Structure formats: structure tokens, C-alpha cells
Amino acid sequence: MTGPGADTGPIRVRRGPRRSRVLLGVVVVAVVAVVLVPDRLGLDGVLPVVGFVLVRAPATIVVVVLALLALAVRARWWPTVVPVLLVAAVSVATLLPRVLPDGPGPDPGPDLVVMTLNVDRGSADVTALSRLLHLRRPDVVVLPEAGEPFRARLAPLVADLGYRSWSSTPAAQADAEGTTILAGPSLGPVRADVVRDVRFPWLQISGGALGPTRLVGVHVASPVPTLLEAWPAELGSLQRWCGPGVGPAAVVGDLNGTADIAAWRRGTAGCTDAGDAAGKGLLATWPTATPRWLGAQLDHVLVGGGVGVDGFDVVEVPGTDHRGVLATIHTVA
């Protein structure tokens, strides 16, 4: 029997979260931030983090689903789940503009259908590509990783379409180092110039029906260890076509980047992405081994200086790990 003042044993005090649990929560939130918003942390140019940036959309979906499942299983995990969902919300805010179509652009001038396809070191099925060109009849075709050898194989198959074609590299160089442009007869007497101050030479066409518009076919260096310094520098050089006061221009090709990357945003500032304008900016063009909703849109058609854009489609050709892009642009009259 116990009475007042009797010793009833130690009183158990309910403690807050253990230090290890708090530390684990901090680590989880930090990892999620590195995966979903590394550009906000200045880590989007660091390997292997850049790989996460290129799959931000599917990664965001996975994180949100896992966070909500965790909250449903154990409500006491909310101190970790809530910050994770806030980070995911920041990621969603950056993705939304790419799935919401833009309103009407500048007053349209002459229409041009533009296509780009990275042919994966010249390995794309050239016969299938020629069939696609006969079907869609683009006015301009930009083929990254297509040097003179690939151009020479393709040209006879589309000769009846009246294309003129150029490669940025000679026959002795591998296809992987070149970019080829095909210009349809509707463009008239255009001029082609090689842009040499990049890792893989680009091609610019001008004149003819393009009027004051310059169209450059590009293959930006990829974010791999040997090219990690060239990659942001080449993205920055896109200001020659997108920057203020440079005049009407179109940038077409494999940019090896998305709007999730700070260097990409700086280099393309002033240009409109055809995919984003159509609300299809999250359709993946790479790799073809995954569905279109899982991957990155590395291949782009960008316009600036009053050039408008209308229409965007993703196409496939066997033999390459990239999907192609088709867009209609309105050059400046």
C-alpha cells in the first residue's frame, strides 16, 4: 500500500525526437535537394549531380509519391516529409512553364519547318531517315553527329527533294565530330559557314529566304569528365544568337542540356524554346531506350529576335539513341 509521499519509482519523461532521427531527417532533405534542385545550390555543373538534373521531372514524381507514402505509414515522420515536399514544390514550379502552352507569339513571317536529329555517330538508319524526310518535307534539317561520311550516304536518297547539304567536318573526320545541315529548295541561295570555336564544329546558314534570320545547327559538348569545362562555355556561347540586339535567329540541334541547368538558362536567355512554347517541354528526346516521359529533352529548336514558333513534334528514327524534333518557325519578313 502506498500513501502520500511514497516513492513510486522514476518518472518517465517523453523525449523529443532523438538526435539520430533529426540527423537522418536533415540528410534525407539534403539528398532530395541535391537531386531535385541542384541548380539552386550551384551543383548542377558537378558530376554526377548533372545526371539528376536531366531527369528532374520523373525524379520529382518519385520523391512526392515516396514522401506521401511515408507520411501515410508513419505520421510522426512529418518533420522530414514536410521539408521534402517543399523542395519538391520548388522543383514543380520550375517544371510547370514547360507543360503550359504559350499564347500567340510575334506576328508570323514566312513559315519554315525545321527538324533536328542526333544520328548517334552516324549510326542512324539512313534509309528510315530518308523516308521520314520524304514524309514530313522539312525545309531545314540539322543532323548532329553526322559528318561528311553520313552526309554522303544520305544525300543521294533525298536528291529528288532538292536539298542542298553541308557538313562541318571533312570526310577524314569521324561522324561523331560533325554536324550536317540540309536546306530545302524553298530557302533559295543560302550560305553555310562553319563555327569553329567549339569542340564539335557547328554550321550556320543565312541568306536566301531566311532573310535577316541566322540559323545555326549546334552540337554542344556533353557534360562528361573530359568535356566538363567546354560544356558550360559552349552553352554560354549561344548568346551570339539569343542575346540582346543580335537580330533574328534560330538555334537548332543537340544542346545537351535543359532549362534545369543554370548555364543553359544563361546561354539561351532571350530565346524561346519551341518545346516549351507548345507545352511539350518535358517530352524526352534522350534516351530512346526509355519512354518519352522518362528522360531529358536534349534536342531543341530555339528562336529569338522576333522569330516566332508554332508547332512541335517528337519523331523517331531507328539506330540512334536520340529522338528527333520537328518544329514550325516563322522567320522575320
Alpha helices in the chain (DSSP H): 19-36, 49-53, 56-73, 78-95, 126-136, 148-154, 230-236, 239-242, 262-268, 274-277
50 and 126 co-located in one domain: no
**For the ranges 35-49, 150-164, 168-182, which has the lowest average pLDDT?**
35-49
Total of domains in the chain: 2
Parallel, antiparallel or unpaired: strands 308-315 and 111-116: unpaired
**Arithmetic mean of pLDDT, 24-46:** 90
Q: Which of 60, 76, 98 is the last residue of a domain?
A: 98
Grid cell listed for 145: 553527329
Q: What integer is the mean pLDDT of 239-249?
A: 96
Cis, bond preceding 225 (omega within 30 deg of 0)? no
The predicted pLDDT at position 159 comes to 97
Same domain for 214 and 148: yes
Three-state DSSP at 299 gives strand
The CA–CA distances, whole Å, from 243 to 236, 238, 303, 307 equal 10, 8, 11, 13
- Mean pLDDT for 104-128 is 88
Q: Please give the pLDDT value at position 21.
A: 78
From CA 132, how far away is CA 86, in angstroms rounded? Answer: 44
Residues in the chain: 333
Of 4-13, 42-51, 203-212, give the lowest mean pLDDT range: 4-13
Distance CA 291, CA 294 (A): 5
> Given a cut of 50, is residue 1 above it in pLDDT?
no
Residue at a domain's end among 98, 130, 157? 98
Phi then psi dihedrals of residue 111, to 5 deg? -80, 140
Average pLDDT, the chain: 92
Are 54 and 148 part of one and the same domain?
A: no
Establish if 295 belongs to a structural domain.
Answer: yes
- Of 32, 63, 98, which one is at a domain's C-terminal end? 98
pLDDT at 140 over 70: yes
Three-state DSSP state, 218 = strand
Percent of the chain with pLDDT over 90: 78
Q: What is the pLDDT of residues 197-219, one digit of tens each?
A: 999 999 999 999 999 999 999 99
The range of the structural domain enclosing residue 50 comes to: 19-98
The answer to whether residues 89 and 115 belong to one domain is no
Judge whether residue 119 has pLDDT over 70: yes
Cβ atoms 201, 177 nearer than 8 A: yes
Over residues 110-127, mean pLDDT: 96
pLDDT category at 12 given cuts 50, 70, 90 is: low
State how far the Cα of 83 lies from the Cα of 67, in Å rounded to an integer.
10
- How much is the CA Rg of the chain, to the nearest whole Å? 25
Report yes or no on 249 lying in a domain: yes
305 pLDDT more than 90 = yes
Stated pTM of the model = 0.89
Most confident of 18-32, 70-84, 95-109: 70-84
What's the gap between Cα 280 and its chain centre? Answer: 11
Query: Of all helices (H) and strands (E), which one includes residue 134?
Result: helix 126-136
Cα angle 283, 215, 276; round to 5: 25
User: CB under 8 Å to 262, separation ≥6 — which residues?
Assistant: 39, 42, 44, 45
Q: Are 117 and 256 in the same domain?
A: yes
Q: What is the arithmetic mean of pLDDT over 176-186?
A: 98
- Asked whether residue 86 falls in the same domain as residue 121, the answer is no
Which of 141, 54, 165 lies closest to 315, judged by CA?
A: 141
CATH of the domain at 192: 3.60.10.10
- Of the candidates 114, 119, 136, 139, the residue with the CA atom closest to the CA atom of residue 302: 114
- The residue-averaged pLDDT of 255-275 equals 96
Residue 66, amino acid? L
Which amino acid appears at position 90 of this protein? V
Q: Which of 9, 27, 29, 8 has the alpha carbon at shortest distance from 19? A: 27
Name the H helices within 48-98: 49-53, 56-73, 78-95
Which range has the worst mean pLDDT, 80-89, 100-109, 303-312, 321-330?
100-109
Over residues 183-193, the mean pLDDT reads 97
The answer as to whether 104 is a domain residue is: no
Report if residue 204 sits inside a domain.
yes
pLDDT of residue 19: 76
pLDDT at res. 114: 98
